[in-house]
Structure 1
Amino acid sequence: MTATQRVTVRVPAKVNLQLAVGPLRDDGYHDLVNVFHAVSLFDEVTATEPGAAGAFTVRVEGEAASQVPADATNLAIRAAEALAKHAGQIGADGRPYAVDLLIRKAIPVAGGMAGGSADAAAALLACDALWGLGLSREELMEIGAGIGSDVPFALLGGTAVGTGRGERLTPVPATGAFHWVFALADGGLSTPRVYGECDRIRAEAGEEVAWPSADEALMAALRDGDARALGAALANDLQPAALALRPSLARTLDVGRDAGALGALVSGSGPTCAFLAASAGHARELSEALTSAGVCRAAVTADGPVPGAEIVA
């Protein structure tokens, strides 16, 4: 394929409709059943040829940009470097692969909506086009799984069940569109810390952790496009840990429920709270109720499911 000089990719946030956390594995991870749902809250990543051969650089603009690392620890940089390694480091022109990445943030940082993983997925797709590699979406997803468990889903999009660490994906048919409100919190929550708290709570309670499985009622609600049934089936095993670490989130969830949300839960490891609405108008009403109650820094509306990472320019 012919390389280009500039590529922009749009990539969605995710909400976990179900996050079932199994026992702790020997490798430090948990076996999961993770029902991912891509929503219309997007980051954009633009990849351009840098001035220096072999250079990998990143700049960040927008939502909480100062909280995103702009060095080699950035997941988008790690993804670009992994792709270059996969491709053999040297391009067809004899020069080392290189890229300058510009990330425009709208997905909350450390908010439980996989913003960093989304940026990594966008970087893989953008650099593949920038360097003219022509890899399949499946090949990019395999590389992405080595970067983070949520990266493959950001490339796939739609709705899917993730197993293992969440990286093994099975698409799930969903009828129609679902309307969401996301209450954004001040500051983030560390995903490892939330998982650690989940393990601590379970050990203290002497809880026997069952092998996770997808909820049949939730799968049926998605197939039928039944928002009320979906709201009743939303579940997140990490929610008690997130609430223990950030007790104020309980008040956020209560306000949304009192305003008529069909379902409410902490998204992923938090601290973003997700509310399912009956319609677009209801979503706007929920958003206004959450912001007027002062239980979040901002509330945004979105629809789902939406496609995964896409080249837009």
Structure 2
Amino acid sequence: MSITVRAAAKINLHLGVGRVRDDGFHPLDTVYQAIGIHDDIALSLADDLSLTTHVADHIDPAAVPSGADNIVLRAARLLAEHAGRPATGAFEVRKDIPVAGGMAGGSADAAAALVACDRLWDLQTFDDDLLALAARLGSDVPFSLVGGTARGRGRGEVVEALADPGSWWWVAVPSAEGLSTPAVYAHFDALRPDAPEVPPSSDELLAALATGEPLRLARALHNDLQEPAIDLRPDLGDLIARGESEGALRGLVSGSGPTVVFLCDSADGARETALGLAGAGHEVVLTATGPVAGAHVVVPV
């Protein structure tokens, strides 16, 4: 018996960051969107717990954490502990979401692992319990369960699903060189010692989202981590300028980077922007639409 669960990449349409708290976390007001770049996590019955990973050509296999600390295995062990049963099963992960790219690939895999284990082990875990376990694994994992478009607060783990009438087209350009999330946040702290305790509100973004109009949404996109990310990696600023010159409505660093995403006005606009960026020498250019579902079963038991 086996099951396959699909997990989507996320982007942040709004990422407001407040002053670092005493516990080391930054308060956030963010709007997430799940887009159609995904990983597939298959889980089969087995006597012990194991993991095999296959990556797309644009991902460096060495960049994927291996061993017992892989977040997929940690998710399985956490749910097993909650359920009072052994953590067993053979995971096979097929990755297409950029690694360390600001698109929550690890978080998406953790969410998919929780769903896969819950279904294959026939636990029927309550949704609130799954969300609480997800928050213990990482700030983006609860959203990866919920998917669609959602607002995140706290450190991003308090998730509220949002109505989203739009169909949005994106181009994503990953980077061969990763960018450390802690380093970007530390640089934010250095650049913004006067950051407010309360993060900038997402209200303007939410109003734009409700219109379903790409140009209105493009004008409202916001990321407080973009300045520190570009300061650490000036090439990201050059990439944004190039993508916008190729027809994108707006370019934005995704989360803490280094992946850059571009909002386009249509499917044709996304294809044209992608072709322009590929012609400019970017070897990996991905197109995707959003919002899409969170972690969900695609091949049932």
Instruction: Output the TM-score relative to the length of structure 2.
Output: 0.95
Larger CA deviation: 216-225 vs 115-124: 216-225
Question: What corresponds to 2:73 in structure 1?
Answer: 77
Unaligned runs of 5+ in 2: none
Match of 1:86 among 78, 82, 85: 82
In structure 1, distance between residues paired with 2:129 and 2:110: 14
Distance in 1 of aligned mates of 2:21 and 2:114: 29
Map 1:142-291; keep pairs closer than 5 Å.
142-203=132-193, 207-291=194-278
The residue number in structure 1 matching 2:97 is 107
- Which of 125, 128, 134 lines up with 1:138 in the alignment? 128
Unaligned runs of 5+ in 1: 91-95
Structure 1 residue 68 corresponds to structure 2 residue 64: yes
Moved more, 243-252 or 134-143: 134-143
Q: Secondary structure at the match of 1:169?
A: strand
Deviations 1:28-67 (A, max 9, x none): 00000111001011100011122x3xx3221110232332
Percent sequence identity is 46
Letter in 2 for 1:307: A
- Structure 2: how far apart are the matches of 1:137 and 1:302? 28
SS in 1 for 2:68: coil
Q: TM-score, normalised by structure 1?
A: 0.92
The SS at the match of 1:113 is: coil
| 1:119 Cα deviation after fit | 0.2
Aligned residues: 296
Following superposition, the deviation at residue 297 of structure 1 comes to 3.4
The offset of 1:97, in angstroms, is 3.1
1:49: which partner in 2?
A: 45
Structure 2 distance, partners of 1:211, 1:9, is 36
Q: Where does structure 1 differ by over 6 angstroms across 4 or more consecutive aligned residues?
A: none
Decide whether the 8 Å contact of 1:8 with 1:45 is kept in 2: yes
Q: CA RMSD in A?
A: 1.2
* 1:197–1:213 distance in 2 versus 1, CA, 3 Å: closer
Residue matched to 1:93: none
1:68-114: CA deviation from partner (whole Å, max 9, x where unpaired) = 122111111111110001001x2xxxxx3312111100100000000
Deviation at 1:152, TM superposition (A): 0.5
Distance 1:292 1:23, change over 3 A: same
